[in-house]
């Protein structure tokens, strides 16, 4: 079974559609406030490496600021024809604080 480390998000966006770039657990994430919940995805666009936290939200997708590829914030899937995706990380809320889950690297031991 894969082990997950839960990391406290020290700053979360509070407005609908607001985004924030955060380094968590050795990864650079784009944290998004979507429909009252916090979502966490990889911050680097797989097309040419743009910073997705500089993009914007449309419906439940984040739009890359460079060439406007769109990625679903729940599944990470790129729109039809893009043939790409971004990683999506699990989040949970405990006692009013948000945590993001990042798989433990096998080389860090158990």
Q: Which residue has the tokens 């948000």?
A: 98
Instruction: Please identify, using beta-carbon distances, which residue of 20 and 66 lies nearer to ligand FES.
Output: 66
Asked if 30 is part of the footprint of ligand FES (rule: CB under 6 A), the reply reads no
**Stretch near ligand FES under the rule CB under 6 A, chosen from 6-14, 19-27, 65-73, 90-98:** 65-73
Out of 38, 40, 45, 91, name the contact with ligand FES by CB under 6 A. 45
Instruction: Please identify, using beta-carbon distances, which residue of 49 and 109 lies nearer to ligand FES.
Output: 49
What is the Cα–Cα distance from 71 to 58, expressed in whole angstroms? Answer: 10
3-state helix, strand, coil in the chain (%, to 5): 5, 45, 45
């Amino acid at each position: 079974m894969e082990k997950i480390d839960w990391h406290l998000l020290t700053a979360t966006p509070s407005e609908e559609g607001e985004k924030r770039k955060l380094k968590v657990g050795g990864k650079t994430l784009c944290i998004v406030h979507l429909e009252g919940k916090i979502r966490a995805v990889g911050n680097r666009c797989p097309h040419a490496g743009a910073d997705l936290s500089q993009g914007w939200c449309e419906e439940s997708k984040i739009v890359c600021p460079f060439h406007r590829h769109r990625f679903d914030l729940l599944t990470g899937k790129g729109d039809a024809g893009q043939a790409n995706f971004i990683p999506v990380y699990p989040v949970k809320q405990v006692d009013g604080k948000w945590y993001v889950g990042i798989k433990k690297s096998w080389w860090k031991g158990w």
